[in-house]
Copies of this chain bind each other. A is one copy, B any other.
């Protein structure tokens, strides 16, 4: 299996991406096609130990910058790593494409180049949140800021297929994110969607609240991309503030500093369970290809795990498993 990785994406620079790719090739026994400026990739490879890793380089001289309008970037930069990588996937040269670059441009490129799966109105970006028990897939986390009920029910369907196939969850429980558990609670979108969900064949457990996301009450949590993005970013920000304050509290008195040193392994174990890099990236669901968008701040480990996630999706027959569904008929 060959998986393309965008070396030019990611806020941490190309070295982290190359490192993660080298580790992924070794650990998952896949070939990685490193997509980006060849000279830069060669430089970074020299700093890693690429022995025993199957790697190839696909030259892409251009880069999509963080603040470029997505559609424009895709149209005007055919030689960017995002467009080149997506074309490799489209052409069947690779089985999946992983990038920590501009997520809007990745979604746009996937739509333009791969296209939507037949019957799917909009693709959705799904984030896998760790919880104290099992992981939960929240989607959409940013591909569609404005949604209709028909989008949300499809997000639920494709999210359920993904959790069943890729994470092995039998009959995933689906929750609809709202501001209260009762079905009359929610904004217009959610109240209308609730009625569609109730009538569907989904394993629908009803509305879930923000406090339920990290409690494992559902395997798939559906929301519009605006709310989903804010939930994701709030959790990340909270986590950072939490660790900052914990460190401040620990540093505040001399004997706490000693405690802090002793505690370090426990804190690490604990942080790992909340760490997005455990899953490495967000699958883009509903397009004709396996695309994983890694977090912009991904370090080597997150890149490696994103490749692992992509590999599992390929092995489990994604996105064909979605293609097999009959969409647009549930409501």
**Footprint of B on A, CB under 8 Å?**
67, 69, 131-132, 142, 145-146, 177-180, 182, 184-188, 190, 209-215, 223-227, 229-242, 244-246, 248-250, 252-253, 255-256, 259, 262-263, 266-267, 269-270, 273-274
Contact = CB atoms under 8 A, between A and B. Distances in A.
Which of A212, A253, A269 has the most chain B CB atoms closer than 10 A to its own CB? A269
A64 to B, nearest CB: 15
A211 B237 contact: yes
B179 A229 contact: yes
Contacts of A132: 241, 244-245, 248
Nearest to A191: B145
Nearest to A223: B230
A48 B61 CA distance: 74
Query: Nearest 6 A-B pairs (CB), nearest first?
Result: A210-B233, A211-B237, A210-B234, A249-B270, A179-B229, A214-B241
Contacts of A185: 145
A32 B223 CA distance: 43
Nearest to A181: B67
A249 B231 contact: no
Nearest to A69: B184
Given A132-B248, A145-B185, A210-B233, 4 more contacts: A67-B182, A132-B245, A177-B230, A213-B238
Main secondary structure of the interface of A (DSSP, over half): helix
A270 B248 contact: yes
A231 B210 contact: yes
B186 A214 contact: no
A230 B227 contact: yes
B255 A269 contact: no
A245 B227 CA distance: 26
A212 to B, nearest CB: 7
B249 A237 contact: no
Contact of A211 (B214, B224, B236, B270): B236
A148 B291 CA distance: 35
Given A132-B248, A142-B179, A210-B236, A231 B231 contact: yes
A259 B263 contact: yes
30 contacts: A132-B244, A142-B179, A145-B185, A178-B226, A179-B226, A179-B230, A190-B226, A209-B233, A210-B230, A210-B231, A210-B233, A210-B235, A210-B237, A211-B233, A211-B234, A211-B236, A212-B237, A214-B234, A214-B238, A214-B241, A226-B227, A230-B231, A231-B231, A245-B274, A249-B267, A249-B269, A256-B262, A256-B266, A259-B266, A263-B263
